[in-house]
């Protein structure tokens, strides 16, 4: 039985992990590779990307590590051009880079506001700017943007810039899906809810008494009784990128254990 991404090239931005364990991008890169893809693993931290590539190689998969800052157009273009020269085409673009910084309108600095929008939203604009032309010309391709439940819900944290940035990712997803549908290019988003990844221990744990309290309280908020994992997000993304989802575009899919369906 042929694997879903056999002979496909998948470009994953944010393929490293924010710390020990499995972040969303790292799990996604490994998931695509396990399903037959050649994975271009891109991260601002080259060592983090190389760690992901090493895992893929140990499992018998194919991958190459790249370093790039997703807020820099030239960095992204260099990766895209190198990958096209090596592989000929990019079949899937997976945008995973994200950051949270706490602060509502009275507390957050203007610099923090702009930084969060640049990393979460402008990065999607820039990667798509450089990848979509090739997909349009070939009349084939899929884009998966990792958004957040914060795009559509108050999640309990005062990170105004993150809400705004992820809402922008959702609407960019919808707009690009409809613009590129005539060219047979699909664009979808995954909205993770409460997920237990290394990132929350770095960027959210400060909102709780300690890390154990954070995990306990976040678990209790999920209707299914426990936070999701990076693998839950990765499997949803791989489905949307695959031919199994060939009639799905413009969707922002909650992967949240039911959180988006409840009131209060």
pLDDT in tens, 89-109: 999 999 999 999 999 999 999
List the domains of the chain with CATH numbers: 9-194+229-257 (3.40.50.720)
The pLDDT of residue 252 is 98
Strand partners, 245: none
Q: What is the pLDDT of residues 157-193, one digit of tens each?
A: 999 999 999 999 999 999 999 999 999 999 999 999 9
CA–CA distance, 95 with 123 (Å, rounded to integer): 8
Q: How many alpha carbons fall within 13 Å on the CB side of residue 246?
A: 6
pLDDT, residue 199, reads 73
Question: What is the model's pLDDT at position 205?
Answer: 61
CB contact at 8 A, 238 and 32:
yes
pLDDT at 41 over 80: yes
- Active-site option among 32, 159, 163, 180: 163
Percent of the chain with pLDDT over 90: 87
In the structure encoding, which two tokens stand for residue 223, read together?
Answer: 């209707």
Asked if the model's pLDDT at residue 112 lies above 70, the reply is yes
Q: Is 163 a catalytic residue?
A: yes
Mean pLDDT computed over every residue of the chain: 95
Structure tokens at 65: 């590590």
Alpha helix ranges (H) inside the chain: 24-34, 46-58, 73-87, 110-117, 123-138, 160-180, 198-203, 211-221, 230-241
């Amino acid at each position: 039985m042929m694997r879903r991404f056999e002979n496909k090239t998948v470009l994953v931005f944010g393929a490293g992990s924010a710390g020990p364990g499995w972040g969303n991008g790292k799990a996604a890169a490994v998931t695509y590779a396990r399903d037959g893809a050649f994975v271009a693993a891109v991260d601002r931290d080259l060592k983090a990307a190389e760690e992901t590539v090493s895992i893929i190689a140990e499992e018998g998969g194919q991958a190459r590590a790249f370093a790039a800052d997703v807020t820099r157009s030239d960095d992204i273009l260099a990766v895209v051009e190198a990958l096209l020269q090596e592989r000929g085409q990019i079949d899937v673009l997976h945008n995973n880079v994200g950051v949270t910084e706490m602060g509502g309108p009275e507390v957050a600095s203007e610099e923090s506001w702009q930084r969060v929008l640049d990393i979460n939203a402008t990065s999607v604009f820039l990667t798509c700017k450089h990848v979509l032309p090739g997909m349009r010309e070939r009349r084939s391709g899929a884009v998966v943007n990792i958004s957040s439940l914060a795009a559509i819900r108050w999640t309990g944290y005062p990170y105004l810039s993150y809400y705004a940035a992820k809402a922008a990712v959702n609407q960019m997803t919808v707009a690009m899906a409809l613009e590129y549908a005539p060219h047979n290019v699909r664009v979808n988003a995954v909205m993770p809810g409460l997920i237990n990844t290394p990132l929350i221990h770095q960027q959210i744990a400060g909102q709780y008494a300690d890390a154990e309290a954070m995990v306990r309280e976040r678990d209790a908020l999920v209707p299914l009784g426990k936070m999701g994992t990076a693998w839950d997000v990765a499997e949803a993304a791989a489905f949307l990128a695959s031919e199994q989802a060939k009639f799905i575009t413009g969707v922002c899919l909650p992967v949240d254990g039911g959180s988006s369906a409840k009131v209060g």
